[in-house]
Amino acid sequence: DVKVTQSSRYLVKRTGEKVFLECVQDMDHENMFWYRQDPGLGLRLIYFSYDVKMKEKGDIPEGYSVSREKKERFSLILESASTNQTSMYLCASSLSGPSGANVLTFGAGSRLTVL
């Protein structure tokens, strides 16, 4: 069964801490994405990557950075966590190609609480 695995389901961090959220996919997908999900706001794209070492800003990149050193792994980094970054974080991946019709496969999510 194909999978997107997020290493931490629940995290509690303190304001100012550096936070790493890890995501690994085993489908050899080119594209990987980080979304955050908040009630009433739906899913908002933070960053995405369409190739190793490539990254693009999404709609809400402020306060976040990403790393993609290997094709299967896409990490989201909060350099200095703040309470407004308390959220559910969802990683996803998809095949590339000329069509935008490729389906995203999501991980189970990482619920981050910043105190």
Among 8, 50, 63, 95, binds another protein (CB under 8 A): 50
Q: How far is CA 106 from CA 34, 35, 36, 90, 109, in A?
A: 10, 10, 12, 7, 8
Residue 90 binds to another protein (criterion: CB under 8 A): yes
Parallel, antiparallel, or unpaired: how do β-strands 105-106 and 4-6 relate?
unpaired
Stretch that binds another protein, among 14-22, 66-74, 76-84, 107-115 (CB under 8 A): 107-115
Residue 84, classed as helix, strand or coil, is helix
Q: Is 39 left (phi over 0), alpha (psi -120 to 50) or beta?
A: beta
**CA-based torsion, 32, 34, 37, 42: positive or negative:** negative
If the CB atoms of residues 46 and 114 are measured against another protein, the closer one turns out to be 46
Should residue 104 be labelled a site residue for another protein when binding is judged by CB under 8 A?
Answer: yes
- Asked if 109 is part of the footprint of another protein (rule: CB under 8 A), the reply reads yes
Q: Does 58 bind another protein (CB under 8 A)?
A: yes
How many residues of this chain bind another protein (CB under 8 A)?
24
Q: Which residues bind another protein (CB under 8 A)?
A: 4, 35, 40-45, 48, 50, 58-59, 90, 92, 99-101, 103-109
